[in-house]
Structure formats: structure tokens, C-alpha cells
């Protein structure tokens, strides 16, 4: 088969793999796509393998995260041709990671029995790097497809999202070995069955336990259109919308989404804040706050307890270009028109907030994509709360994908995850990663749920990504040693 044909097939396989993630949830598709990718690499040179891996990644990211174009053009003010070019270049950058993985796979030339494990090690190593380099973009890491009901979800509380990704990639490799080599087929199927059975058994383990009394929580979804949110004439509508929702759905804890009111917190009418405060035992609100960095005033993207702004969390992992401008890219400010796009960075570790009798670990929007960064606060917390504004991405797959990411965090950390969003998807997620309640997107409503805090620690909370990365490193070393001997 010609190299160009293999590249086209890889492009299609990468695009089809997106069906394994939300909103489709066909979790077997990414596994089959990875098997197809490994099959296409057979007998290829490292250079050809890199091209095939790049095509696979490009197909997957163009299909899965092209909603980036919506934020750039529709809400960021970038001309459409330029935003399309920027989106393609961004996806091409992300595709470099699977390209490097495939080149390394062929460069090391592992034996038939080692090949699946090396592929899994390289694959999760590449995804971990993609989520780390240049502040990271781990969206659509293969493990995210394996939230419940996937049988591989049991690996998540132990090894995190990359543990599920490792198991899936290894099973894909074992499938290829079984189809290509009769001698190793039985052994490969036994290993695949063992991986599957282990995942099922682990999913039955309760790593954390409920504590304290149940409390009622109201999660408010104002559905303020992003293009109008920062218009001064729409401010009264935003304020009345959230106050009416809070009054209609009082609870022990009332949660408003990220930057719910488009004003710095200290400029919001005190009477309105007092009326909002009266709707719950505690009220947590996403808001812009003002602080100092190196003696200069800076804005912060925060969430704070109304009436007690000493209970505050400020976002630590900022979005490049949306919340800060990377060095050497100041010229992009002349193209993009994103309000409040220069925030100060909160402390890397911030303690949970004492709210409604619970210890609440807060994260804001994009931060919940970085599971290991949430561990420090989650250890001492009983609840996780995410406040978001994904209106930036319109009616795209970004919202259900983000909800699936939140499911993974709840499963990794063994805590309920509550999400209050501007336009969706506002939801309550159980510690086992299952969504117990969710509001339809793009409607003005409140979600009132009963939730109970959890205590205890999952293995992932103790060790983070270290075990799966160490395993991946040992497999790569074994393959390198084998290559040298051969």
C-alpha cells in the first residue's frame, strides 16, 4: 500500500476516533482507530510513520477541536480566513505529538509481544507531553473516552486518565498482534482479556466514602449570549437573570458561573449582592476581582463567597491568548478583541473554601482539564466545584466534551463534581464519574440537587500520573535495550 494511501486512511481513522468522545460516547471507536493506526505503521520507515501519525492526529483534532475557530472568529473578532488558518495550524501543531509517537514506534522496532506495550507507553507519553508543553492542551486525550460505562473506567481512580489511555492503546496493539500473527494471537487475546477484566473489577472498588449530611445545591445557568455579555446595556438583564434564578431556587449552596456579572466584583451594586446573599446559606460566585502583583493592580478571574470575599479562589492555570498573552505574541492583541484578556495568575495551591458546612475545592473553566493540578486542593476537600463560561465556543462539541472531562476529574479524585456554567453544560457528577443531573444547554434555568461530600483518597490522589509515566518509561527502556541487542 502506498504511503499516501496510508496517510489518507490514517486521517480518516483519526477523525472517526472522535466518535468515542462526548457527545457520541462510542468508547470502542478510539481503540479501533488506534489499532488501525498501528496496522498502518507496519513495515514503514520512521519518516513514513511520522507522516501517518501526523495525518491521524490532524484528522482527529480537526474533527474534534475545530470549535476553536468559533471563539476566534465569532467572538474574538478575527477575520474568518485568518481564524480558519489559525485553527488548522493549531491542529497541525497538536498532530506533531502522534507523529513523534509513530516515528519512535518504528524506530525502536519492538518484537511482536512487546509492540503493543511500547505503543501504549509512547502514546500516553505523547499525550502527557501534549498536556504539559507550552502550558498544555490535553483535550481529547484517549483516556477521556473511557468514562462510565466504559469497562476501562476502573483504571481511572488508580492511574488517572492516562491509565485508561494506556490500557486502551495496549488493547489496540494486542488486537493488531492477534490479527497479524497466528503464533502470538492466543497470548495477545489473553492479555487483552486480562486488561478488560481488571478494569471491570477495579470499577467495583469504592475508593472514597460519603461523609456528613446531604445538602442542597442550586447551580445557576444564566444563558447570557457571549456576544452581548460585555455590552453595558445588557448588564441589568444579567443581574436580574441571576437574582431571579437564585430567588426561585434557594439552597444551602448557590453557585453562579464564571464571571457571571461583567463587572469587577467591587463595582457590583451592594444591594444586589445582599439580595443574592440572602438566597442561600452560602453563595459562590464567579467574578473578576482586583489584586496586586509586584505592586501593580491586576485583574483576577476568581470565584468567591458573596458577603465574605476572604473566601476566594483565583484561577491559576490561565488560557493562552484568552486570559494572558504568551511572550512574543503581543501582536495578536491587534487581531483579537477579547474582553478582560490580561489576568493575573492565582497561587498554584489554594486551600478549599469552607462553604455550607463542606470543604469546597474550586476550579475555573479550563483548569479541570489538568487533573494532577487539582490534587493538592482535593485532598482536603469534600466537594469539587467548577464554574465555567463555554459560551465562547457556541453550539459545538466543546460543551459535552468539557462535561466528560469533568466526569474524569470526579472519578480520579473520588469527589462529587458540581458544574455551574453560563450556557451549558451545568451538571452534577457523582464520585464514580456518572452524571446524576444535567441541564440542557442554551436555556436559562437552575439545577437544584442534593449532594453529599466524600472523604478518603484514591490511589491517583496519592501518586498522580507518576505510576503510569514510570511504567511507560520502563517499557520504552526495555524496547530500547531489545533494539540494541538485535
Cell numbers linked to 243:
437574582
Whole-model pTM?
0.93
* Pair 126, 79 in one domain: yes
Q: What's the CATH code of the domain at 363?
A: 3.60.110.10
* Pair 12, 139 in one domain: yes
pLDDT band with cut points at 50, 70 and 90 for residue 228: low
* Pair 194, 69 in one domain: yes
Cell numbers linked to 147:
468514562
296-305 and 251-255 strand pairing: unpaired
Burial class (CB in 10 A: 0-12, 13-18, 19+), 481: exposed
CA–CA dist 164, 159 (Å, integer): 7
* Pair 226, 330 in one domain: yes
Q: How much is the average pLDDT of 371-386?
A: 96
Within 10 Å of residue 482's Cβ, how many Cβ atoms? 15
| Spatial contact of 173 and 116, defined as CB atoms under 8 Å apart | yes
List all residues 6 or more positions away from 483 whose beta carbon is below 8 Å from its beta carbon: 108, 109, 110
215-221 and 445-451 strand pairing: antiparallel
Catalytic status, residue 91 = no
Q: Active site residue: 315, 323, 372, 412, which one? A: 315
pLDDT band with cut points at 50, 70 and 90 for residue 486: confident
Cα end-to-end distance, the chain, whole Å? 27
- What's 73's DSSP letter? I
CA–CA dist 430, 426 (Å, integer): 14
Q: Active site residue: 91, 127, 258, 412, which one? A: 258
Q: Around 53, how many Cα atoms within 13 Å sit in the side-chain half-sphere? A: 28
Q: In Å, what is the CA distance from 251 to each residue of 200, 219, 237, 255, 368?
A: 37, 9, 23, 10, 25
pLDDT band with cut points at 50, 70 and 90 for residue 340: low
For 122-172, write each residue's pLDDT tens digit. Answer: 999 999 999 999 889 999 999 999 999 999 999 999 999 999 999 999 999
For 271-304, write each residue's pLDDT tens digit. Answer: 999 999 999 999 999 999 988 777 678 899 999 9
* Pair 196, 326 in one domain: no
* Pair 184, 214 in one domain: no
Task: Give me the number of domains the chain comprises.
Answer: 2
Q: DSSP letters along 237-261, please? A: HHHHHHHHHHHHS-EEEEE--TT-S
Catalytic status, residue 102 = no
* Pair 101, 215 in one domain: no
Instruction: Compute the residue count for the chain.
Output: 486
* Pair 140, 32 in one domain: yes
List all residues 6 or more positions away from 111 whose beta carbon is below 8 Å from its beta carbon: 482
Q: Active site residue: 91, 365, 372, 412, which one? A: 365
* Pair 441, 298 in one domain: yes
* Pair 420, 289 in one domain: yes
What is the domain extent for residue 480? 3-206+464-485
* Pair 395, 307 in one domain: yes
Report pLDDT for 437.
97
Catalytic status, residue 233 = no
* Pair 199, 221 in one domain: no
Amino acid at each position: 500500500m502506498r504511503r499516501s494511501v496510508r496517510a489518507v486512511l490514517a486521517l480518516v481513522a483519526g477523525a472517526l476516533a472522535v466518535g468515542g468522545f462526548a457527545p457520541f460516547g462510542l468508547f470502542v471507536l478510539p481503540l479501533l482507530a488506534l489499532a488501525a493506526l498501528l496496522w498502518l505503521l507496519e513495515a514503514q520507515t520512521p519518516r513514513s510513520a511520522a507522516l501517518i501519525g501526523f495525518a491521524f492526529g490532524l484528522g482527529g483534532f480537526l474533527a474534534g477541536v475545530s470549535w476553536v475557530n468559533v471563539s476566534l472568529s465569532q467572538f474574538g473578532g478575527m477575520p474568518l480566513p485568518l481564524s480558519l488558518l489559525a485553527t488548522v495550524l493549531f491542529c497541525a501543531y497538536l498532530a506533531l505529538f502522534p507523529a513523534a509517537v509513530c516515528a519512535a514506534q518504528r524506530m525502536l522496532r519492538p518484537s511482536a509481544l512487546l509492540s503493543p506495550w511500547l505503543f501504549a507507553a509512547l502514546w500516553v507519553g505523547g499525550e502527557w507531553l501534549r498536556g504539559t508543553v507550552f502550558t498544555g492542551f490535553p483535550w481529547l486525550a484517549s483516556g477521556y473516552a473511557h468514562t462510565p460505562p466504559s469497562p476501562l473506567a476502573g483504571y481511572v481512580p488508580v492511574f488517572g486518565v492516562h491509565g485508561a489511555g494506556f490500557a486502551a492503546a495496549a488493547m489496540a496493539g494486542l488486537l493488531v498482534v492477534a490479527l497479524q500473527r497466528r503464533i502470538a494471537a492466543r497470548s495477545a487475546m489473553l492479555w487483552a482479556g486480562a486488561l478488560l477484566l481488571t478494569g471491570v473489577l477495579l470499577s467495583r472498588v469504592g475508593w472514597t466514602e460519603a461523609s456528613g449530611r446531604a445538602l442542597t445545591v442550586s447551580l445557576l445557568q444564566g444563558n447570557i449570549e457571549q456576544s452581548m455579555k460585555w455590552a453595558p446595556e445588557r448588564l441589568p438583564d444579567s443581574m436580574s437573570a441571576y437574582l431571579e434564578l437564585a430567588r426561585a431556587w434557594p439552597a444551602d449552596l448557590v453557585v453562579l458561573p464564571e464571571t457571571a456579572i461583567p463587572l469587577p466584583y467591587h463595582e457590583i451594586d451592594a444591594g444586589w449582592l445582599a439580595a443574592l446573599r440572602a438566597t442561600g446559606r452560602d453563595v459562590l460566585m464567579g467574578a473578576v476581582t482586583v489584586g496586586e502583583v509586584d505592586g501593580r493592580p491586576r485583574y483576577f478571574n476568581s470565584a468567591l463567597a458573596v458577603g465574605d470575599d476572604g473566601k476566594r479562589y483565583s484561577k491559576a492555570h490561565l488560557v493562552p491568548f484568552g486570559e494572558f498573552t504568551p511572550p512574543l505574541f503581543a501582536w495578536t492583541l491587534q487581531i483579537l478583541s477579547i474582553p478582560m484578556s490580561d489576568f493575573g495568575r492565582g497561587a498554584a495551591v489554594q486551600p478549599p473554601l469552607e462553604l455550607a458546612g463542606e470543604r469546597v475545592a474550586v476550579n475555573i473553566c479550563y483548569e479541570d482539564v489538568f487533573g494532577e493540578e487539582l490534587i493538592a486542593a482535593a485532598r482536603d476537600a469534600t466537594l469539587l466545584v467548577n464554574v465555567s463560561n463555554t459560551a465562547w465556543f457556541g453550539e459545538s462539541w466543546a460543551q459535552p466534551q468539557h462535561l466528560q472531562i469533568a466526569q474524569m476529574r470526579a472519578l480520579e479524585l473520588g469527589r462529587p463534581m458540581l458544574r455551574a456554567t453560563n450556557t451549558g453544560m451545568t451538571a452534577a457528577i457523582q464520585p464514580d464519574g456518572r452524571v446524576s443531573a444535567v441541564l440542557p444547554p442554551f436555556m436559562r434555568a437552575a439545577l437544584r440537587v442534593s449532594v453529599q461530600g466524600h472523604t478518603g483518597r484514591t490511589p491517583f490522589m496519592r501518586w498522580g500520573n507518576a505510576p503510569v509515566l514510570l511504567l511507560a518509561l520502563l517499557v520504552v527502556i526495555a524496547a530500547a535495550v531489545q533494539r540494541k541487542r538485535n
